[in-house]
Chain A
Amino acid sequence: MPTLAETQLRFRDAVVHGDMQHVSSLASLLLGGRSPEKRLIVHQRNYRQSLVDALLTKFPATGWLLGTQTLTEAATRFIRECPPQAPCIAEFGAGFPDFLSLSPPAMRAPCVREFAELEWYVGKVAIAVSGIPVALEELSTIQAEALPDTLLELQPGLHYLNISWPVDELMELYLSETIPEHFELLPARVCIEVRGARGEFRFSRLDPAQATFRKAISEGHSIGDAAESALEADAGFDPGRGLVALVDAGLIQAIRKGPDESSCS
């Protein structure tokens, strides 16, 4: 009789692969009806349906782009090759856009990875909870010489994409439920800010320097370091204006005076 560990490994393979070959390795261990191993279809189905449904629910726009059947086939392959790694299904699917880019659907729609990535982040920011935004007056209390070392904590429902297809145009089409007579998507590098909270979201384009500045701050870099990165992207970038725009957009939820100091707002 195999150990519990061996039994669970066989079960895992039968459930994830969903085939009879793996099921047959359990036949002699099970009870229930005349051919108990055939009942494992219940567990195979639970795994497949629940996870494929989860992906289809998270990527409805990608399903609109590729067709539901194509997306379902890709999702079915994905769950076999990349089972969830944590019990929170809300977190499952982050790797699906990359998986799609290596799958047959990418041949039909080369922008699919970036489109699915945009959709993933739209879903992610929409369940965030935003904090009270910092006002300009609070920022102005910081001494000028301390400003470059200051760290800002941005709202959690924010993500920055720098992508090679203008998939935001395609997403606007999906959201507006319009089908134009003619639509052509050509490669073009765009920077997109995806923002949301409490069930709502929006995405907008940023110029490359502003996007670099905001992304660097969101990654925990100081205002000075973020400004330097932005100036590398565009020598004409105005850090002061960039900072004011960030405040005006309500994107800062806390100010930290330096790398070792705690929040002061």
Chain B
Amino acid sequence: MKSISNISGVGLRLPHLTEMVATLPSAGWLEVHPENFLANPHAAELLAELSTHYPISFHTVGISVGSVRGIDRLHLKRLRSVIDRIHPIFVSGHLAWSTYGNDYLNDLLPIPCNEEALRVVTAHVDEVQEVLDRSYLIENPASYVGFCSSTMPETEFLSELVRRTGCKLLCDVSNVVVSAHNMNYSAYRYIDDFPADAVAEIHLGGYTREEDEATPDSELWIDTHAAAIAAPSWDLYAYALRRFGSKPTLVEWDNDIPPLSTLLAETTKVDKAMHATDPPCVDSGKCNRNRSEGHYADAR
């Protein structure tokens, strides 16, 4: 299989599946939510066909490594069976939780960054990697709230998770933009502190803005994946590329889904940004300090 280290991919959702199979448009690689295929044999059949034409990546939404009451082993087993069939290039998930006992809450809920949560997530990432027999990528969340019980920055939490489990990371640059705005920190410093050696994939997605009910006259940015990628995400992406080097980068658009051609056009912008980026700096592990300091000064 060809290397996709400097190639953009596109998030493939069910409404585009038939068109994708029929037209086989030019695309570097495709990422799907395997949960959409586990209970849909027809879609799984089409995905298997696509896997003969494109590298496929799996982005899970139901593993819930942050759930204190354990992860769904039956789900994990089903996931393994579809992995064995499709042979995805990556399998990723989120630093979040979505199940409580048997209840599946169909959202990515936040966890505090402290030792108790780290132990829970570590145990579950270990279990996932053991059952799937492969490295699992963990994505940084889009945050709307934090916890008083947090004792470390999220980047430190992720670094420690990588150290304890050997997992890889998926850096969602748009999530960094959203979280930094909502939680009032510098997105650029977050990228500086992100464990660069563990980054295996990058995500870019659109977000929407709405009034922040928690703070009058302020905006809350929501990771809706319902719009084109915004300028602050492109700027931070360019910065992240200099920090991490070229990484397979995915365009996500999950709601108010546009025509496939619009989605694919977004990936050409990603390719352009990747090819325009200088090689990463290797001495300090951090890039273009002057530029990042400018952004630190802007931090609210």
**Which residues of A come within 8 Å of B, CB atoms?**
1, 3-5, 7-9, 11-12, 15-16, 28-43, 46-47, 50-51, 83-91, 126-129, 156, 197-199
Asked if B148 CB lies within 8 Å of chain A CBs, one says yes
CA distance A127 to B116 in the complex (A): 42
Residues of B within 8 A of A91 (CB): 39
Residues of A within 8 A of B83 (CB): none
B93 → A minimal CB distance (Å): 11
**Contact for A39 among B72, B98, B220, CB less than 8 A:** B220
A-B contact pairs, 19 of them (CB 8 A): A5-B69, A8-B68, A16-B105, A29-B147, A29-B148, A30-B147, A31-B146, A31-B150, A32-B145, A33-B218, A34-B214, A35-B214, A37-B214, A39-B220, A51-B106, A83-B104, A87-B64, A87-B99, A127-B42
CA distance A41 to B210 in the complex (A): 12
Using known A-B contacts A8-B67, A39-B220, determine if residue A30 contacts B145 with beta carbons closer than 8 Å.
yes
Among B105, B120, B146, B215: residue with most chain A CB under 10 A: B105
CA distance A8 to B208 in the complex (A): 27
Residues of B within 8 A of A36 (CB): 145-146, 214
**Contact for A4 among B63, B74, B117, B216, CB less than 8 A:** B117
Question: Interface on chain B toward A: helix, strand, loop, or mixed SS?
Answer: mixed
CB under 8 Å from chain A, chain B span 66-80: 67-69, 72, 74-75
With both beta carbons as reference points, the residue of chain A lying nearest to B14 in the complex is identified as A90
Taking residues whose C-beta sits less than 8 angstroms from the other chain, chain B's interface range is: 35 or more
A198 → B minimal CB distance (Å): 5
Asked if B97 CB lies within 8 Å of chain A CBs, one says yes
CB under 8 Å from chain A, chain B span 107-158: 107, 109, 111-112, 116-117, 120, 143-150
Among B43, B45, B68: residue with most chain A CB under 10 A: B68
CA distance A75 to B212 in the complex (A): 27
Asked if B271 CB lies within 8 Å of chain A CBs, one says no
Residues of B within 8 A of A88 (CB): 35-36, 38-39, 62, 75
CA distance A39 to B116 in the complex (A): 24
CB under 8 Å from chain A, chain B span 40-56: 40-45
* Contact across chains for A85 and B104 when beta carbons are under 8 A apart: yes
Asked if B8 CB lies within 8 Å of chain A CBs, one says no
A8 → B minimal CB distance (Å): 5
Apart from A4-B116, A12-B103, A83-B104, list 7 A-B contacts with CB within 8 A: A34-B214, A51-B106, A86-B75, A89-B106, A127-B41, A129-B41, A129-B42
**Contact for A30 among B35, B44, B148, CB less than 8 A:** B148
**Which residues of B come within 8 Å of A, CB atoms?**
18, 35-36, 38-45, 61-64, 67-69, 72, 74-75, 97-100, 102-107, 109, 111-112, 116-117, 120, 143-150, 182-183, 212-216, 218, 220, 222
* Contact across chains for A87 and B104 when beta carbons are under 8 A apart: yes
* Contact across chains for A39 and B212 when beta carbons are under 8 A apart: yes
With both beta carbons as reference points, the residue of chain B lying nearest to A9 in the complex is identified as B100
B58 → A minimal CB distance (Å): 13
* Contact across chains for A15 and B105 when beta carbons are under 8 A apart: yes
Residues of B within 8 A of A12 (CB): 100, 103, 105
CA distance A197 to B216 in the complex (A): 52
* Contact across chains for A32 and B214 when beta carbons are under 8 A apart: yes
* Contact across chains for B215 and A33 when beta carbons are under 8 A apart: yes
* Contact across chains for A32 and B146 when beta carbons are under 8 A apart: yes
With both beta carbons as reference points, the residue of chain B lying nearest to A87 in the complex is identified as B62
* Contact across chains for A5 and B214 when beta carbons are under 8 A apart: no
* Contact across chains for B148 and A31 when beta carbons are under 8 A apart: yes
Residues of B within 8 A of A8 (CB): 67-69, 97, 100, 109
B300 → A minimal CB distance (Å): 12
With both beta carbons as reference points, the residue of chain B lying nearest to A44 in the complex is identified as B107
Residues of A within 8 A of B43 (CB): 127
A151 → B minimal CB distance (Å): 22
* Contact across chains for A89 and B145 when beta carbons are under 8 A apart: no
Residues of B within 8 A of A32 (CB): 143-146, 182-183, 214
* Contact across chains for B116 and A3 when beta carbons are under 8 A apart: yes
B143 → A minimal CB distance (Å): 8
* Contact across chains for B100 and A46 when beta carbons are under 8 A apart: no
* Contact across chains for A50 and B148 when beta carbons are under 8 A apart: no
* Contact across chains for B109 and A43 when beta carbons are under 8 A apart: yes
Residues of A within 8 A of B148 (CB): 1, 28-31
A146 → B minimal CB distance (Å): 31
Using known A-B contacts A5-B69, A34-B214, A128-B41, determine if residue A86 contacts B104 with beta carbons closer than 8 Å.
yes
* Contact across chains for B218 and A89 when beta carbons are under 8 A apart: no
B157 → A minimal CB distance (Å): 13
